[in-house]
Amino acid sequence: MTPDSPQKKHHIQILVENRFGVLTRVAGLFSARGYNIESLSVGQGIDPSVAQMTIVTVGDDRVVEQITKQLNKLIDTIKVVDLSESSFVSRETVMVKVNTTTRPEDRQEAFRIAEIFRAHIVDTSPSTYTLMVTGEEEKIEAMIGLLRPLGIKELVRSGAIAIAREEPRHATRTQKHDGELPA
């Protein structure tokens, strides 16, 4: 076989029939063939008979080629796009419930971090704040890193959703894509 190409993160957008059991078909395909799912998010599309999935997966070129082909082969998939082949926007939402009473300054500190990352405080109690932020993966990781010393009680991530950029297609594969480190 050809020499193994490096492992890379890929954002794959899938349009599927909005029917029961389709999610299992997609998820089952990944588990049956030993592919990774880093995150998966599903929702209804513009047309209510279509559901939109964004899957983030990691693999070398050969594996990702197989993933997209195998997804296409499912009868219920309408369209499969590997967004990582061109320019795209990816965002994820995270909600973090953080302790604010470990140290006296923590309540102020949590508030400051929320401001810096433009997070919303969506819930509060005398001893906690719940922060919600939307952004690229790096931003979310950075915020979680800063909140960790305060003591994270609970953390929920939505999984990435992604969309192709609408622009003249002069972007090449080696350019830095939004939401992805340069290869």
Partner 1 sequence: MVKMTGAEMLLECLKKERVSQIFGYPGGVVLPVFDALYKDPSLSVVLTRHEQGAVHAAEGYARTTGEVGVVLVTSGPGATNTVTGLADANMDSIPLVVITGQVPTKMIGNDAFQEADIVGISRSCTKHNFLVRSISELPRIVKEAFYIARSGRPGPVLVDIPKDVITDRGDFRYPETLTLRGYNPTVQGNRWQIRKAAQLMAKAKKPVLYVGGGVIASDSHEELSELVSLSRIPVTLTLMGLGAFPGTHPLFMGMLGMHGTYAANMAVHHCDLLIAVGARFDDRVTGKIAEFSPHSKVIHIDIDPTSIRKNFRVDVPVVGDARLILSDLLEDLRKIRDEEGLTPLEPWHQQIEAWKEEHPLTYKKDPEVIKPQFVIEKTFDLTGGDCIVSTDVGQHQMWTAQFFKFLTPRTWLTSGGLGTMGYGFPAAIGAQRAFPKRRVIAVTGEGSFMMNIQEMATVASLEIPVKIIVLNNQYLGMVRQWQEFFYGSRYSSSFIGQSPDFVKLAEAFGVAGFRATRADQVEEVLLKGLSTKGPVLMEFMVDPEENVFPMVPAGGSNIEMIFEAPPPAPAKGGKTGRKEKDAVITA
Site for partner 1 in 38-67 (CB under 8 A): 62, 65-66
Q: How far is the CB of 27 from partner 1 (least distance, A)?
A: 10
Q: Which of 143, 142, 33, 139 is nearest to 129 (CA)?
A: 143
Label the pairing between strands 120-125 and 128-135: antiparallel
Single residue of 4, 5, 7, 28 touching partner 1 by CB under 8 A: 28
Q: How far is the CB of 76 from partner 1 (least distance, A)?
A: 5
- Angle (CA) 52 175 118, round 5°: 60
The one-character DSSP state at 167 is S
Q: How far is the CB of 40 from partner 1 (least distance, A)?
A: 17
Are the C-beta atoms of residues 31 and 149 closer than 8 Å to each other? no
Q: Which of 102, 92, 109 is nearest to 153 (CA)?
A: 102
Q: Which is nearer to partner 1, 63 or 94 (CB)?
A: 63
Q: Which is nearer to partner 1, 69 or 176 (CB)?
A: 69
Spatial CB neighbours of 153, under 8 Å, sequence gap ≥ 6:
97, 98, 99, 128
Size of the site for partner 1 (CB under 8 A): 21
Q: How far is the CB of 79 from partner 1 (least distance, A)?
A: 8
Q: How far is the CB of 32 from partner 1 (least distance, A)?
A: 5
Site for partner 1 in 67-106 (CB under 8 A): 69-70, 72-78
Label the pairing between strands 50-59 and 8-17: antiparallel
Residues in touch with partner 1 (CB under 8 A) = 1-2, 16-17, 21, 24-25, 28, 32, 62, 65-66, 69-70, 72-78
